[in-house]
Protein backbone atom coordinates (compact mmCIF):
# COMPACT_ATOMS: atom_id res chain seq x y z
CA UNK A 1 0.00 0.00 0.00
CA UNK A 2 1.37 3.40 -0.99
CA UNK A 3 1.94 6.28 1.38
CA UNK A 4 -0.62 8.79 0.10
CA UNK A 5 -1.64 12.43 0.43
CA UNK A 6 0.87 13.73 2.96
CA UNK A 7 1.35 17.49 3.25
CA UNK A 8 4.15 19.17 5.19
CA UNK A 9 4.16 22.97 5.59
CA UNK A 10 6.68 25.06 7.51
CA UNK A 11 8.66 22.14 8.92
CA UNK A 12 12.27 21.86 10.09
CA UNK A 13 13.77 18.38 10.39
CA UNK A 14 17.10 17.63 12.03
CA UNK A 15 18.20 14.00 11.86
CA UNK A 16 21.07 11.61 11.36
CA UNK A 17 19.62 10.50 8.01
CA UNK A 18 17.36 12.33 5.57
CA UNK A 19 13.83 11.73 4.32
CA UNK A 20 13.35 8.37 2.59
CA UNK A 21 10.18 7.99 0.50
CA UNK A 22 9.26 4.71 -1.19
CA UNK A 23 6.04 4.01 -3.12
CA UNK A 24 4.52 7.37 -2.20
CA UNK A 25 1.78 9.27 -4.04
CA UNK A 26 0.61 12.87 -3.60
CA UNK A 27 3.29 14.22 -1.29
CA UNK A 28 3.43 18.02 -0.91
CA UNK A 29 6.24 19.79 0.89
CA UNK A 30 6.24 23.57 1.24
CA UNK A 31 8.84 25.53 3.17
CA UNK A 32 10.58 22.40 4.48
CA UNK A 33 14.17 22.46 5.75
CA UNK A 34 16.09 19.21 6.32
CA UNK A 35 19.43 19.04 8.12
CA UNK A 36 21.16 15.64 8.06
CA UNK A 37 24.49 14.32 9.30
CA UNK A 38 24.89 11.63 6.64
CA UNK A 39 23.43 10.54 3.34
CA UNK A 40 21.08 12.42 1.02
CA UNK A 41 18.66 14.99 2.39
CA UNK A 42 15.86 13.43 0.31
CA UNK A 43 15.78 9.99 -1.25
CA UNK A 44 12.80 8.86 -3.34
CA UNK A 45 11.91 5.62 -5.10
CA UNK A 46 8.72 5.10 -7.11
CA UNK A 47 7.21 8.39 -5.95
CA UNK A 48 4.53 10.05 -8.07
CA UNK A 49 2.29 13.13 -8.22
CA UNK A 50 4.38 15.04 -5.68
CA UNK A 51 5.62 18.61 -5.37
CA UNK A 52 8.31 20.43 -3.43
CA UNK A 53 8.38 24.23 -3.02
CA UNK A 54 10.81 26.20 -0.88
CA UNK A 55 12.58 22.91 -0.09
CA UNK A 56 16.01 23.46 1.42
CA UNK A 57 18.55 21.28 3.12
CA UNK A 58 21.93 20.98 4.75
CA UNK A 59 23.72 17.70 4.06
CA UNK A 60 27.43 16.97 4.16
CA UNK A 61 27.31 13.80 2.08
CA UNK A 62 24.32 13.94 -0.26
CA UNK A 63 21.64 15.96 -1.95
CA UNK A 64 18.45 14.66 -3.60
CA UNK A 65 18.33 11.16 -5.09
CA UNK A 66 15.48 9.90 -7.27
CA UNK A 67 15.07 6.26 -8.31
CA UNK A 68 12.43 3.81 -9.49
CA UNK A 69 10.86 3.03 -12.84
CA UNK A 70 7.42 3.98 -11.47
CA UNK A 71 8.53 7.50 -10.52
CA UNK A 72 6.42 10.15 -12.28
CA UNK A 73 5.08 13.70 -11.97
CA UNK A 74 7.61 15.05 -9.47
CA UNK A 75 8.01 18.85 -9.39
CA UNK A 76 10.75 20.88 -7.71
CA UNK A 77 11.29 24.62 -7.93
CA UNK A 78 14.49 25.61 -9.68
CA UNK A 79 14.95 28.46 -7.20
CA UNK A 80 15.40 25.87 -4.41
CA UNK A 81 18.74 24.72 -5.87
CA UNK A 82 21.97 26.59 -6.54
CA UNK A 83 22.72 24.03 -9.27
CA UNK A 84 19.86 21.56 -9.78
CA UNK A 85 21.72 19.40 -12.29
CA UNK A 86 24.48 18.73 -9.78
CA UNK A 87 22.34 18.55 -6.65
CA UNK A 88 19.73 16.13 -8.02
CA UNK A 89 20.79 12.61 -8.98
CA UNK A 90 18.50 10.37 -11.03
CA UNK A 91 19.01 6.64 -11.42
CA UNK A 92 18.90 5.20 -14.93
CA UNK A 93 15.44 3.64 -14.52
CA UNK A 94 13.76 7.02 -13.94
CA UNK A 95 11.97 7.91 -17.17
CA UNK A 96 12.90 11.17 -18.87
CA UNK A 97 10.44 13.93 -17.97
CA UNK A 98 9.29 12.21 -14.77
CA UNK A 99 10.98 14.87 -12.64
CA UNK A 100 10.69 18.56 -13.46
CA UNK A 101 12.66 21.40 -11.99
CA UNK A 102 10.75 24.58 -12.88
For 54-74, what is the mean pLDDT?
92
- Region label for 34, one of left (φ > 0), alpha (ψ between -120 and 50) or beta (otherwise): beta
> How confident is the model at residue 72, as a pLDDT?
97
> What is the span of the domain harbouring residue 75?
3-101
> How confident is the model at residue 20, as a pLDDT?
95
Looking at the structure of the chain, the number of domains it has is: 1
The pLDDT of residue 38 is above 80: yes
Cβ contact 74:66 at 8 Å: yes
| 61 band by pLDDT with thresholds 50, 70 and 90 | confident
Amino acid sequence: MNLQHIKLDNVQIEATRGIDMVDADGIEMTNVFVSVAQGPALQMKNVKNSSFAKFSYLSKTGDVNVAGELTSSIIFRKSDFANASQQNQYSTEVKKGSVKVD
